[in-house]
A and B are shown apart, each in its own frame.
Chain A
Amino acid sequence: MSVRMPEADAAVLARRERIVATLRAIVPGEGVIAGEREMRPFESDGLTAYRQLPMVVVLPETTKQVSEVLAYCHSEGIKVVPRGAGTSLSGGALPLADGVLLGMAKFSRIREIDFENRIAVVEPGVTNLAVSNAVADQGFYYAPDPSSQIACTIGGNVAENSGGVHCLKYGMTTNNLLGCEIVLMNGEVLRLGGKHLDAPGYDLLGLITGSEGLLGVVTEVTVRILKKPETARAVLVGFPSSEDAGACVSAIIAAGIIPGGMEMMDRPAIHAVEEFVHAGYPLDVEALLIVELDGPAAEVDHLIERVEAIAKDCGSTTCRVSQSETERLLVWAGRKAAFPAVGRISPDYLCMDGTIPRARLPDVLAAMKEMSQKFGLRVANVFHAGDGNLHPLILYDANVPGELDRAEAFGADILKLCVKVGGVLTGEHGVGVEKRDLMPEMFSETDLAAQQRVKCAFDEKGLLNPGKVFPVLHRCAELGRMHISGGKLPFPDIPRF
């Protein structure tokens, strides 16, 4: 791996036996795993290029246990890495050799469903899909739907501020979260929010969402649930160029239509998917657009007509509207299988996750084609077209010496390009370890110091998930220092009254 993790603390490792025993006293039974073979499944998350066995795995069942584990680690200076289902694609749950891996999988109960207030209170280990399933009998669902929703947990969704294909219309996790119980690194248990809207003071819940497990460990989550739209239909549109497809996306939005989902695939992705899923995707197009409209049938039918007309104006060569729920699901089955489909045509692939201003898509795709030649690696693109979130899949073979390094360099160049055209390093997968060292592409030292001061407010010793997000972790005392230049600033130019 090319990203350096914090130096393991030899003094902590030397005390391993005592630490394991103390943790066993806090979490009895099978909640502490210390054998090498048993810890193996925890050595990496969805970013499998990075692996590291933790010092010990702890699987607590109650908030009290979480609090005691954290308080103990805090007092002993032991690092802690929280983990949900381990589906992170950025290495957010990558263990540390001298750290406790705190698995939250046993927090798997749904605590309350309140249809009157349209909320669900769940433990963090509940999977994203299980929340929707729990409220489905009353026709409700939980809107954010990351591709990994069958496996990923709500706690992980909070840590990563997960999105999904419907977030253009329904928002990301942060827009659907009402409250949480969180344990700080010192063991303190705090409750934020509840069944009501907005914070009475600072939006700490908003800060925690997407903080990648660096600020606290979430032990309970309150989310908003929505009534399912009456119906949904998908339009599958093919274009002779990605420019045309991009123009079509802009034209749809400019016409005042916000589709439930709007996805784009380029030629290599279309071919890989069609071969795998047989979704009936056209193979003679350069770009394919899936536009999904949801709502009452009267609305969906009306908007589909308008989308078809817009697509035609934008030069579409094929256009097919789903005529049944089976057809709609087949259209999505292709898109949702894009990653494994690409996995079939290449031994390994890296999934990137930049966001760009949508208008820059043709430039970015063209540049990517050149990079593909330069690095000698193939690339396929799937794109959340509505919100500009691009997932280039870089194809490589880990068994060919040097290919992983080249793939990583290719990926870094793509992300740098995203930032250069006005976009960002990550739209939904998180910084983790994967993009940690690219942070200076987007942020100045001052910006990063300001973010780290937030970290200090929550975890002054920097023990929670270190080595993630920030390329360099400064000490809080150092960050707290002020350098005032004596107050002699002349300040003559600012108008004063």
Chain B
Amino acid sequence: MTDVLKPRDAKEVEEAVRWALGNDKALEVAGQGTKRGIGRPSQTDATLDLSDLTGVMLYEPAELVLSARAGTPIAEIEALLERNNQQLAFEPMDYGPLFGLEAGRGTIGGAIAANLSGPRRIKQGAARDHFLGVSAVTGRGETIKSGGRVVKNVTGYDMCKALAGSWGTLAAMTDITIKVLPKPETEATVVVEGLDDAVACAAMAAAMGSSCDVSGAAHLPDHVASYFDGLPKPEAATALRLEGVAPSVRHRRQALEALLRPFGPVTVLEAEASAALWRSVRQVKPFTGAMAQARPLWRISTAPGQGHAVAARITPAAQMFYDWAGGLIWAAMPFADEPDAGSIRNALAGPGGHATLIRAPAAVRAVADVFEPETAGVRALNKRVKDGFDPKGVLNPGRMWAGV
């Protein structure tokens, strides 16, 4: 890695990609680099640093829409929304602390490129579900626009979906338009104490299948419970978040308490403790500490009802907790150089789903399947999609899969 190209506007991004094309160079596409450690190590000649493309261009709270340059810090956007009692409903997590970086960094472009989400994913979706419009420079050095600034839009292919979660391998995004939503007036969390994983998954399924409108459902087993904020005691906790107007939260917490009491002892976290708890769930706090950083970290998405069965097939030496009502498992493996990809993917063989190796030494990531290996047909289709956007492989080549 020799060069850093730091364009000041979209035109210069186009020039940078054309330079790469003309000189057979490959570019690492980056914002603030908080997710640099994720993916297969890319062989690139220069970094296309988009962190100078900043600024909110449009924000109309009553229209629930915000447009910003891709390099705008997510913290800046969240602060602006907060002042207007609004929020990014997809609750983007912050990967930085998992890599020993300070919290609160990262850009809106990065949030979209990694299709970030958080505990509210089960109710409000991920970044992809809030991504309305984009301007981006493809690997062909051309600027394309897709989508718009309105929520309801089916004009042409939904190219935003292709770019969300593409980790910068298709295009370098320069302008982003997202849907924003009102911040709930208040919140509370109903906690069932002392459940084992299987019963916890059943309790979460019962809560999700009720009309309580749960906006976060996590199970924090005994061995990691002490890392989370807001819990009354450092023991296994199955937490269910309720958000909304005060009379509604009051009503639903009573209903949920009654529903969950048969599973185990129930307590309720009031707004402040509830917010603290979900902040630490969102940030995957158990695995951010200095000691934990050496552990390879997996992010596993599966059918929520099968979460405990998947976890049971992973070595007991791994540290794990569940979000998304059991559908998201964060698993930190015991040995630094052994992500044990084979056993993780075997664990998914029956229930289905996918696992991403979020954190591991570069040498390990270079030889492991960091992203879930696809079936031959899907792999070939992904490659054709990539070739359409970036035929010469100038943008983050090989970051997701070899040859893509």
Contact = CB atoms under 8 A, between A and B. Distances in A.
Interface string B13-30: 001101101111000000
A457 B155 contact: no
A229 interface: yes
Contacts of A192: 378
Interface in B343-362: 351-356
B145 A204 contact: no
A207 B157 contact: yes
Interface of A: 114-118, 138-140, 160-161, 163, 167-168, 171-172, 174-175, 184, 188-192, 194-207, 209-211, 227-230, 250-251, 253-254, 256-258, 295-299, 301-303, 355-359, 384, 387-389, 422-431, 435, 439, 442-444, 446-448, 450-451, 453-458, 469, 479-480, 482, 484-489, 491, 493-497
B324 A387 contact: no
B166 A296 contact: no
Contact of B126 (A118, A197, A299, A425): A197
B245 A299 contact: yes
B62 A200 contact: no
A94 B209 CA distance: 41
Given A192-B378, A196-B303, A457 B159 contact: no
A431 B125 contact: no
Contacts, number: 321
Interface string B371-394: 110110110011011111101100
Contacts of B65: 357
B326 to A, nearest CB: 9
Contact of B7 (A194, A202, A204, A494): A494
B219 interface: no
B5 interface: yes
B129 interface: yes
Contacts of A205: 161
A202 B401 CA distance: 11
B6 interface: yes
A229 to B, nearest CB: 6
Interface in B127-177: 128-129, 138, 140-146, 148-162, 164-166, 170
B4 interface: yes
B213 interface: yes
A479 B159 CA distance: 17
B156 A439 contact: yes
Given A118-B208, A228-B211, A299-B244, A487 B21 contact: yes
B228 to A, nearest CB: 22
Given A198-B165, A494-B8, A484 B21 contact: yes
A195 B352 contact: yes
A199 B161 CA distance: 11
A384 B150 CA distance: 12
B40 to A, nearest CB: 12
Contacts of B93: none
B158 A210 contact: yes
A298 B144 contact: no
Contacts of A191: 375, 378
Contacts of B301: 196-198, 200
A424 B155 contact: yes
B250 interface: yes
A324 B181 CA distance: 30
Contact of B60 (A114, A359, A485): A359
Contacts of B401: 201
27 contacts: A175-B129, A190-B375, A192-B378, A196-B301, A198-B126, A199-B354, A200-B374, A201-B401, A202-B165, A203-B165, A211-B158, A251-B62, A258-B182, A297-B251, A303-B245, A389-B152, A424-B150, A428-B154, A439-B156, A444-B145, A447-B156, A451-B146, A453-B388, A456-B384, A458-B384, A480-B388, A493-B15
A450 B388 contact: yes
B226 interface: no
A423 B148 contact: yes
B248 interface: yes
Contact of B129 (A171, A295, A424, A439): A171
B305 A424 contact: no
Contacts of A357: 60, 63, 65, 149-150
Nearest to B121: A197
A402 B400 CA distance: 56
Interface in B207-249: 208-211, 213, 244-245, 247-248
A485 B378 contact: no
Give the contact-size bracket for chain B.
35 or more
Contact of A450 (B21, B138, B351, B355): B138
Contacts of B16: 491, 494
Nearest to A231: B211
A426 B374 contact: no
Contacts of A388: 63, 150-152
Given A196-B303, A200-B356, A230 B389 contact: no
Instruction: Report whether over half of chain A's contact residues are helix, strand or loop; otherwise say mixed.
Output: loop
B266 interface: no
B327 A227 contact: no
A457 B12 contact: no
Nearest to B305: A116
Contacts of B138: 450
Nearest to B250: A298
A200 B354 contact: yes
A171 B125 contact: yes
A488 B115 contact: no
B80 to A, nearest CB: 15
Contacts of B158: 161, 174, 206-207, 209-211
A473 to B, nearest CB: 14
A228 B389 CA distance: 42
A387 B151 contact: yes
B279 to A, nearest CB: 21
A423 B391 contact: no
Contacts of A495: 5-8, 52
A390 B389 CA distance: 33
Given A202-B165, A253-B64, A196 B152 contact: no
B205 interface: yes
A444 B304 CA distance: 43
Given A190-B378, A205-B161, A491-B19, 10 more contacts: A117-B305, A175-B129, A196-B352, A196-B354, A210-B154, A250-B62, A256-B185, A357-B63, A447-B146, A494-B5
Interface string B172-206: 00000000011101000000000000000000010
Given A195-B352, A482-B140, A209 B150 contact: no
A494 to B, nearest CB: 5
Contacts of B388: 450, 453-454, 456-457, 479-480
Given A167-B152, A196-B352, A210-B158, A118 B209 contact: yes
Contacts of A211: 157-158
A160 B143 CA distance: 26
5 closest Cβ pairs, A-B complex: A487-B22, A206-B161, A299-B248, A453-B388, A200-B354
Contacts of A188: 377
Contacts of A116: 205, 209, 304-305
Contact of A299 (B7, B85, B251, B377): B251
B32 interface: no
A344 B374 CA distance: 54
A192 B385 CA distance: 15
B282 interface: no
A202 B251 contact: no
B267 interface: no
B398 interface: no
